[in-house]
Structure 1
């Protein structure tokens, strides 16, 4: 186990070096990411300029919601998305078999040998916007609220990585799984907005089947004292526990999927 832990930093270091080989192109791409997501937030600003609030959320509150959602996603996806998206191709070509014979956890090797620092643009924008929103939101911060904020951010990050892992692992059973990511991102885009503006059916899906609301409006709404549909006073504890719980579910799903994997020969 200790030997494996010592290998992880080496895997990460080698991958970062390969991604930073063309640094100009790398940072230009990050700048494009910032502009892209900045334009999304600007479109929310246009709505607020017309209606003042959105579902009872003010402009600084929506800025905090957007930055929280983006930061939790970028941290979770950096450890999972590209790696698990490419798992389908590894299964189809039979390359995944080579990971099974390594003296190393296939998931650990897959994730850390492909740790995606390409989300740096997301993180830079999210942290900058979050810094402004924290000061502008007019919330009376305390030690408890800061700890809750950080705890739910970690939980949201874990939940994001767990959901992406489960989607990618499905390729070990069905061979094809990347079409499920389109569904994931369709719902993920909805979580830039307060949960209470959606119909009841969408709210249920975003809390249960595709629980991405637990990575955005539920933790931020609980922090700000907003009324959270269906969860009410339980919104805070649910937001804190969702990440660890879904990690356990993702571990069970990964083990089940690898048990069903039959190799390239069928």
Structure 2
């Protein structure tokens, strides 16, 4: 029953977007060009210096494409959490509490964002390009690990959206936290080994975004992991699950503290 309702909400969302097909396609085109431009700028940067801390263009393209692809996966379901505080302030969240779906599932279905098609196309294209150019042993185990990493990275981004958005239950406003999230996303577009001890430790143990793309890439490419061991990439899926469960705990804690606009 729950999955059927979820898919129905997503279908209705898609149909509503198609009512304004021109605007939708222009938005997709614009986003796609923006990300292509980001990849081109990065390519020019690498051409200038040949490598960045021992990482060549194909290896960095793998990092960035994993970051963008998994971000799109998580954001498709939970990007609406960036504006969740407006629902809390207005009391609009009340109607989700009376839904036959779980409130978080209802939010995800009702606000499902199909506009990330451009992210998937661009990131997927550069991901395939980088994999073709990379000289690595593509065994069945490596291919399976890459598939798991794509899912776990999406789970990590989803966890970030839920965790940060849930702070609206406590502080009312949570949008400022997503500015920090965006900045940290930019950090992992490069190998974190270029940063100092503090930043590497933060992105590994404090806010473990390095498990989205860096440590898995280190395992796939058999590269040096920097100041921390290479095998950390193998536990990236476990870290993603732990972060997602933590975000759900934050969500349930927030709901207990929620009071509607009417008190």
Question: Which bracket does the TM-score occupy, shorter chain normalised?
Answer: over 0.9
Equivalent of 2:228 in 223, 227, 231: 231
- State whether residues 77 and 112 of structure 2, in contact with CA within 8 Å, keep that contact through their aligned partners in structure 1: yes
Following the alignment from structure 2 to structure 1, what is the Cα–Cα distance between the partners of residues 95 and 138?
51
SS in 2 for 1:264: coil
- State whether residues 184 and 210 of structure 1, in contact with CA within 8 Å, keep that contact through their aligned partners in structure 2: no
Q: Are residue 170 (structure 1) and residue 162 (structure 2) matched?
A: no
CA deviation after TM superposition for structure 1 residue 125, in Å: 0.2
Residue 111 (structure 1) aligns with: 108
Following the alignment from structure 1 to structure 2, what is the Cα–Cα distance between the partners of residues 249 and 197?
29
Q: Are residue 56 (structure 1) and residue 54 (structure 2) matched?
A: yes
Following the alignment from structure 1 to structure 2, what is the Cα–Cα distance between the partners of residues 229 and 160?
23
CA deviation after TM superposition for structure 1 residue 229, in Å: 3.1
Unaligned runs of 5+ in 2: none
Aligned length: 263
- State whether residues 63 and 133 of structure 1, in contact with CA within 8 Å, keep that contact through their aligned partners in structure 2: yes
Following the alignment from structure 1 to structure 2, what is the Cα–Cα distance between the partners of residues 20 and 197?
44
CA deviation after TM superposition for structure 1 residue 209, in Å: 2.6
Q: Are residue 150 (structure 1) and residue 147 (structure 2) matched?
A: yes
Residue 120 (structure 1) aligns with: 117
Q: Are residue 241 (structure 1) and residue 238 (structure 2) matched?
A: yes
SS in 2 for 1:208: helix
For residues 173-188 of structure 1, the aligned pairs below 5 Å read: 173-188=170-185
CA deviation after TM superposition for structure 1 residue 200, in Å: 1.2
Q: TM-score, normalised by structure 1?
A: 0.95
Tell me how large the CA RMSD over aligned residues is.
Answer: 1.3
Q: TM-score, normalised by structure 2?
A: 0.96
Equivalent of 1:102 in 95, 99, 104: 99
Following the alignment from structure 1 to structure 2, what is the Cα–Cα distance between the partners of residues 128 and 256?
40
CA deviation after TM superposition for structure 1 residue 31, in Å: 1.3
Following the alignment from structure 2 to structure 1, what is the Cα–Cα distance between the partners of residues 228 and 149?
15
CA deviation after TM superposition for structure 1 residue 230, in Å: 4.3
- State whether residues 67 and 127 of structure 1, in contact with CA within 8 Å, keep that contact through their aligned partners in structure 2: yes
Following the alignment from structure 1 to structure 2, what is the Cα–Cα distance between the partners of residues 258 and 142?
45
